[in-house]
Amino acid sequence: MHAITLAVADLERSAAFYTALFGSEGSGIIGTEYAPTDTVAGGATAMFTLDDGLIVSVYGRDDMRKDSSVELGTDPSATIGHFVESRADADAFLERARAAGATMLEPPYTRPWGMYSGFFQDPDGHLWEVVANPGMGAPSDATPE
């Protein structure tokens, strides 16, 4: 997988949220010269390339609907997973999400099998899980409490 494109209600708001979350300006909002019509999607988007090369892009919901010819639901039906090396890294990422304006869900916790994780939703309700998992082979200080 090389890219994840998230349909968003407000492109400027989402670009600001992900800039704060990732600590990167990314591409900024690009493609505004390609204006939408009643039947054709516009080209405005913002893209963020993560350390592992994955691109997270945000794209207007109406444009995504026009591009795909699919009515988009509003409830999250998938989780975007972000794996980090330690419990401290997970807590720091969750704090950046909170500071950027995420809706924080239940507090993070350590599961019986040792995985420490927490959930939040971005301004459009996309569900994120931040995970420190000692079983994934990365160094971790996640230990059962």
Same domain? For 38 and 11 the reply is: yes
Residue 14, in any domain of the structure: yes
Question: Closest Cα partner for 124 from 104, 102, 139?
Answer: 102
Whether 87 and 60 share a structural domain:
no
Q: Do 95 and 129 fall within a single domain?
A: yes
Report yes or no on 144 lying in a domain.
no
Q: How far apart are CA 34 and CA 40, in angstroms?
A: 10
Mean of the per-residue pLDDT values of the chain: 89
d(CA 61, CA 57): 12
The whole-number average pLDDT for the span 68-72 is 85
Crossing angle of helices 11-22 and 87-100, in 10° steps, is: 150
Report the pLDDT value the prediction gives residue 144, as an integer from 0 to 100: 40
Q: How confident is the model at residue 90 (pLDDT cuts 50, 70, 90)?
A: very high
On whether both 59 and 17 belong to a single domain, the answer is yes
pTM of the model: 0.82
> Are the C-beta atoms of residues 97 and 120 closer than 8 Å to each other?
yes
Compute the average pLDDT of residues 1-9. 92
The span from the CA of 45 to the CA of 77, in Å, is: 22
CATH number of the domain at 128, please: 3.10.180.10
What range does the domain containing 104 cover? 79-136
| pLDDT tens, residue by residue, 15-67 | 999 999 999 989 999 999 999 999 999 999 999 999 889 999 999 999 999 98
Mean pLDDT value across residues 103-125 = 92
Contact between 129 and 138 under an 8 Å Cβ cutoff? The reply is no
pLDDT at 133 over 50: yes
Q: Quick check: 78 pLDDT over 90? A: no
Which three-class secondary structure state does DSSP give residue 108? coil
Secondary-structure percent of the chain, ordered helix, strand, coil, rounded to 5: 25, 30, 45
Residues 61 and 7 in one domain: yes
